[in-house]
Amino acid sequence: MLSKVLISIMVIFMPLVSSFGGLSFDVLFIGDSAEIEYVYDNETPGSAAGTVTVASKLGGSYDLYWGDADGEKLSEKVGDYTVYYSEFAEVDVKNGEGSVDIYDFTAIPEGAETVLAYKCGTLAGETEIPDGKVADYGEMLYSFGALSDVHFNRYNGSLTGDDALLTFPNALNFMEQMGVDMVGISGDISANGEISSFEYYNDIVSDYDFPVYTSTGNHDVNDKFTLQNWQSLINTGVYGENKAAGVKAVADNGLDFVYSPEGCEDVFIFLCQYQWSYGDVYSRLLTDEQLDWFEAQLETYKDRTVYLFFHTFLNNPVEGENPYMGEGNLENNVGRHYDLPFTEDCPDEIRMEELMDKYENVVFFNGHSHWAYDMQELNPQLNITNYGGEYATMVHISSVSSPRRTTANIDDSSEHYMRSSEGTLVEVYEDRIVFTACEFLEGQFLSYATYVIER
């Protein structure tokens, strides 16, 4: 039996052997083994949309990274730390060649001048980004963090007894290092609307010099929610008589409001669902009064960029397409999807869809499903889309405390608390908005979920 094993090993390695002492070796090296061809879909600087082809005699998986002018993996100095960009795509090479399509919204980060192909952690090949495609977004006007699904009191896998007590301040620390002007959250601060979660939130955000504002999520308006607790502990300076600078309007319901940072012409609208209600055509998340107020704000600011923070995503609005395969959700081959979407054909869903169709100046941030950013492999529209330019730009925000993942052939999903923590850094320029997905526990920018749109 042992001799058979040894013979098998020798058969595998004999093609590589040519000399060692009396023998010799002819080793196939990974370095310089791959050729990269990048065919771009457009001439827009900073747009990564296109097709990348890797040719190599060595088959298998190749990871594509953005590189700097020296051919090193792209990184950025953030305070005292160096933050690296992850791979932006993976190519499976078979029979000497493989290719991958890069999603339309994918951005080439500033500083990237080369494309690098790595195999087994070793640089296998590189190519230059043409001068006309190198990103130069100009002077940044302002920036903010976009987070969702913090969930104090829900996940307990850490020494603190509450994972959010670690993940939430860690995410805010990262945003602070990035120098953001504010942080917006798409709701689900709590597990069930309990006051202790709101107290945790209040204690943590008070340590930062920038404002941290949030809408409600379905968990926040659950059975323990009271408006008094929310107004006294959440969105400090919004609901009281002495309004914080930049608060433009507060709805009569004492929840929804409009905010604009100092010196910024654009506005942020925080729209709050008022109940946990899904799955029935009469299950409303928004009242008619809320939608009237919301539409009035959209009309007032129709000539500006409006950032909407609302918890629950819409279904795919394109007629004839799978409603679960829109932004914010996905469906795998055995029908697994997030099962609490905005109720299709409910009156508030219909009106919300109409407003997103009319006001294309809106950038709509939502969370709710917790799908990790890399789950776009099951739905290219998961993280960002405007449905062919016919709607507002919809942006999915993963969970700070527990991103979810699933795979093909599995009717289930797994929670990744204390193993993953995600959110998005948003940087605004004169004619572009760049969305950089972040992995906070690893301190990494996620290139495959970094996007750019026109402004």
Query: Phi/psi zone of residue 187: left (φ > 0), alpha (ψ -120 to 50 degrees), beta?
Result: left
In this predicted structure, the answer to whether residue 15 has a pLDDT above a threshold of 50 is no
> Reduced to 3 states, what is the DSSP secondary structure of residue 158?
coil
Top-confidence residue, 231 or 11: 231
Contact 187, 151 (CB under 8 A): no
Contact 255, 198 (CB under 8 A): no
Query: How far apart are alpha carbons 60 and 70 in whole angstroms?
Result: 26
How confident is the model at residue 8, as a pLDDT?
37
In this predicted structure, the answer to whether residue 359 has a pLDDT above a threshold of 80 is yes
Angle at which helices 195-205 and 164-177 cross, to 10°: 30
What would the mean pLDDT of 181-188 be, rounded to a whole number? 98
Q: Where are the domains of the chain?
A: 34-133, 142-454
How confident is the model at residue 250, as a pLDDT?
98
What would the mean pLDDT of 146-157 be, rounded to a whole number? 96
Give the pLDDT confidence of 284-330 residue by residue, as tens digits.
999 999 999 999 999 999 999 999 999 999 999 999 999 999 999 99
Query: How far apart are alpha carbons 23 and 279 in whole angstroms?
Result: 71
- For residues 135-154, b (16+ Cβ closer than 10 Å) or e, as one string? bebeeebbbbbbbbbbbbbb
- Mean pLDDT of the chain, nearest integer: 93
Query: How far apart are alpha carbons 406 and 411 in whole angstroms?
Result: 8
How confident is the model at residue 417, as a pLDDT?
86
In this predicted structure, the answer to whether residue 10 has a pLDDT above a threshold of 50 is no
How confident is the model at residue 28, as a pLDDT?
58
Query: How far apart are alpha carbons 400 and 389 in whole angstroms?
Result: 29
In this predicted structure, the answer to whether residue 54 has a pLDDT above a threshold of 90 is yes
> Reduced to 3 states, what is the DSSP secondary structure of residue 230?
helix
Which residue type is seen at 246? G
What would the mean pLDDT of 241-265 be, rounded to a whole number? 96
Element (H, E) at 295: helix 288-300
Which range, of 28-37, 180-189, 241-250, 358-367, averages the lowest pLDDT? 28-37
Give the pLDDT confidence of 405-449 residue by residue, as tens digits.
999 999 999 999 889 999 999 999 999 999 999 999 999 999 999
Nearest to 366 by CA among 278, 431, 288, 272: 272
Query: What is the pTM (predicted TM-score) of this model?
Result: 0.93
| Per-residue CA distances from 286 to 275, 291, 312, 407 (Å) | 8, 7, 11, 33
| Per-residue CA distances from 325 to 96, 147, 332 (Å) | 33, 22, 9
How confident is the model at residue 160, as a pLDDT?
76
User: Any residues with CB less than 8 A from the CB of 425 and at least 6 apart, and which?
Assistant: 143, 145, 146, 175, 178, 180, 435, 436, 438, 445
Domain 142-454 in CATH 3.60.21.10: yes
Tokens at 47, concatenated: 């747009």
Contact 274, 287 (CB under 8 A): yes
Top-confidence residue, 383 or 81: 383
In this predicted structure, the answer to whether residue 56 has a pLDDT above a threshold of 90 is yes
Top-confidence residue, 242 or 191: 191
